[in-house]
Amino acid sequence: MVWFTEYWTENIGLTIRAKEVKRIKSKYQEILVLDTYEFGKVLVLDGLVQTTEKDEFMYHEMLVHPAMVTHKKPERVLIIGGGDGGSVKETLKHTAVEEVHLCEIDEEVIIVAEKYFPTISGKLRDPTVKIIIEDGNKYLDEKKDYYDVIIIDSSDPISESEVLFQVDFYQKVKESLRKGGIMVAQTESPVLQQDYFKKAVSNIKSVFQYTGVYLGAVPSYPSGLWSYTMASNDVDIFNVDVNRDRFKDLNTEYFSDKLYSCLFDNPVFIKKILGEV
């Protein structure tokens, strides 16, 4: 039996008791698979919890579905990061989808996810999915004016992932979207990572015409309160008339039609952080 702690800041962290720990060293990072009492299996990259069997749906549903239903007909989807397969699993629930490209820098994450997290990674070999092992930032240089939805399912803005929060990267994302395109990114905890959160949102705002921030709970992530930012250059994401049939077969446990109706209705303290009030 072991105790694992992720230090959220230097003053606070999350400590989980595990029955067993597997340690894998990849070219990019240390990967841990914890078999825990409270969260089921937990995937940890360089000391940071990425996915747990217990709450992965909260994160992946909220990352993927709002952008997918906001797009008129999402046929071509790119996921950057997301090697555990959770975002692929949710994306494939949308019937319009014809191609899903998953661009993950570290192949070992996919191998580990397929071995230890079958309920999350189970759709990675779907015929619609193409896996590209490459740095997402470089990959975007090759693909212009192509995708309907781009989902940035990155780790925190440290080491390899840092670039995925910069203005130049968001500019490339914009250029890789075709007309009517939508992007969404995970943008950290507005409570414990306020600087990262503010910077990511302001970088996205500086590139896109329309930018909307929304929140969701993810108990295993710092503070438990997580932020996501959706953006588009030519779709007014705040005024989209979505056909309610689009929600019908998503089979979700967190996201819903009702939740979508007030998606961008943020608490006052979030508006204050973002300088909106």
Render the burial of 213-239: b for 16+ CB within 10 Å, e for the rest: bbbbebbbbbbbbbbbbbbbbebebee
Token code pair at residue 155: 């780790």
Distance between CA atoms of residues 76 and 122, nearest Å? 20
Nearest to 185 by CA among 234, 269, 169: 169
Compare residues 74 and 86 and give the one whose CB is closer to ligand SPD.
Answer: 86
Q: Contact with ligand SPD (CB under 6 A): which of 156, 157, 164, 204?
A: 156
Q: Which is nearer to ligand SPD, 79 or 263 (CB)?
A: 79
> Which residues, other chains included, contact 272 with Cβ-Cβ below 8 Å and sequence gap of 6+?
none
The nearer residue to ligand SPD, 56 or 148, going by C-beta atoms, is 56
| CA–CA gap between residue 13 and residue 22 (Å, rounded) | 21
User: 63 or 235, CB closer to ligand SPD?
Assistant: 63
Q: Give the one residue of 186, 203, 229, 232 binding ligand SPD; rule: CB under 6 A.
A: 186
* Active site (annotated) includes residue 46: no
**Minimum distance of ligand SPD from residue 240's CB (angstroms):** 25
Could you tell me how many residues of this chain bind ligand SPD (CB under 6 A)? 13
**Residue 190 near ligand SPD by CB under 6 A:** no
**Does the protein bind ligand SPD through residue 160 (CB under 6 A)?**
no
86 is an interface residue for ligand SPD by CB under 6 A = yes
Sheet with 2-7, edge to edge strand ranges: 2-7, 13-25, 30-36, 41-45, 48-52
Q: Which is nearer to ligand SPD, 170 or 221 (CB)?
A: 221
For 201, residues 6+ apart whose C-beta sits below 8 A from its C-beta are 187, 211, 213, 227, 229, 274
d(CA 170, CA 57): 26
Binding pattern to ligand SPD, positions 39-68, x when CB under 6 A? ---------x-xx-----------------
H helical segments located in the chain: 56-70, 86-91, 107-116, 118-121, 136-142, 167-176, 194-207, 257-261, 268-273
For the CB of residue 182, give the shortest distance to ligand SPD in the complex, in Å. Answer: 19
Q: Which region among 25-33, 139-147, 153-161, 194-202 touches ligand SPD (by CB under 6 A)? A: 153-161
CB of 87 to ligand SPD, least distance (A): 6
Question: Which residue has its beta carbon closest to ligand SPD?
Answer: 50
Catalytic one among 84, 106, 153, 156?
153
* Residue 153 found at the interface with ligand SPD (CB under 6 A): yes
Of the residues 61, 84, 106, 148, which one makes contact with ligand SPD according to CB under 6 A: 84
Closest CA to 275 of 167, 199, 220: 199
Angstrom distance (rounded) from CA 18 to CA 72: 44
Does position 227 interact with ligand SPD (CB under 6 A)? The reply is no
Residues forming the active site: 153
Which residue ranges make up the site for ligand SPD (CB under 6 A)?
48, 50-51, 82, 84, 86-87, 153, 155-156, 186, 221-222
